Structure 1
Amino acid sequence: MLITLAPDYSPSEDEEFMNPMQVEFFRQKLLRWRHDLLMEANGTLASLSEGGILEPDITDRASVETDRALELRTRDRARKLIGKIDQALARIENGTYGYCEETGEPIGLKRLMARPIATLSIEAQERHERQERIQRDD
């Protein structure tokens, strides 16, 4: 079913949670985010493939190498994020997007707007983080 959203549409708490309009809104949001990340990655690949470091000064060369290392770490984070976006898109396809993987309760629009790849409600995420701290302290 093809749904066309108004350009100014934004999900509202007054609507039924994860109605077709909201689902389409988040699908488009995730697809745009994924596209932007891929475009940035392509730009990074292009700049890295331009050749070696031509800076004659050792300090300048070190600075360029540090910048490249930082860019590669950023791209690695983006690669992992793209995987999470793909998982969120799969949840949209199978009808589980927007619901907590742990409790099955709605995650909530505010959380999904802030973090569209969220898989846990705030309460479940807090429990998870507390459990991690306890295990780390042991």
Structure 2
Amino acid sequence: MTKTTKSTPAVNTEARVLSEEEIRAMGEKDYMNADQLAFFKARLQQLEKDLLKNAGETTEHLRETVLVPDPADRATIEEEHALELRTRDRERKLLKKVQQSIASIDAGEYGWCEETGEPIGIPRLIARPTATLSLEAQQRRELKQKLYGD
């Protein structure tokens, strides 16, 4: 089932957001209907909120730097800060993908593979709501990267 045109269905913002089980139980004909889009938009917005909260907590935590005279303790604290900064850098990249996914919902393009135009699939989107490729397209891309170092 290929996607030929990308329409912009109205996202259901007033009714309750369906549960994951209700979304999984829907048939193929319901793929990326207003209820599913509302479900994924709510999930992505919550993830965005959590990532922004974590970033704020990191900023506050790093400001609370305590001067410790012991070099070993100081090294431990610096290592913890470095780890926290690496984690926040990964979250910053994820935040960008989350915001792009929300924009693709608003544009009516969410849930469709960027390479093939095929549905990405509800189970994959539940597991990875920022996915832009179907499982098969992602596997091809990873194989190509492994073979050619692309």
CA contact (8 A) 2:32 2:111 kept: yes
| Overall identity of the aligned pairs, in % | 46
Give distance in 2, aligned partners of 1:13 and 1:121. 20
Per the alignment, residue 4 of structure 1 pairs with 15
Per the alignment, residue 33 of structure 2 pairs with 19
Give distance in 1, aligned partners of 2:136 and 2:83. 34
Per the alignment, residue 135 of structure 1 pairs with 148
Displacement after TM superposition at 1:55 (Å): 1.7
Give distance in 2, aligned partners of 1:56 and 1:110. 52
Give distance in 1, aligned partners of 2:44 and 2:19. 17
Displacement after TM superposition at 1:13 (Å): 4.3
Per the alignment, residue 87 of structure 1 pairs with 100
Per the alignment, residue 38 of structure 1 pairs with 52
Give distance in 2, aligned partners of 1:102 and 1:40. 33
Where 1:12 maps in the other structure, the secondary structure is helix
Per-residue CA distance 1:99-124 (angstroms, 9 max, x = gap): 10000010011100000000000000
Per-residue CA distance 1:45-78 (angstroms, 9 max, x = gap): 0111123x42221111100000000000111111
> How many pairs does the alignment contain?
136
CA contact (8 A) 2:17 2:39 kept: no
1:54 to 1:73, Cα distance in 2 relative to 1, 3 A: same
Per the alignment, residue 122 of structure 1 pairs with 135
1:124 to 1:28, Cα distance in 2 relative to 1, 3 A: same
Query: Which structure 1 segments of 5+ residues have no match?
Result: none
Match of 1:104 among 113, 117, 120: 117
TM-score, normalising length: structure 1: 0.92
TM-score, normalising length: structure 2: 0.85
Where 1:100 maps in the other structure, the secondary structure is coil
2:56 corresponds to which letter in structure 1?
A: N
CA contact (8 A) 2:17 2:38 kept: no
Give distance in 1, aligned partners of 2:97 and 2:36. 19
1:42 to 1:117, Cα distance in 2 relative to 1, 3 A: same
1:3 to 1:19, Cα distance in 2 relative to 1, 3 A: farther
Displacement after TM superposition at 1:8 (Å): 4.0
Q: For the aligned residues, what is the CA RMSD?
A: 1.7
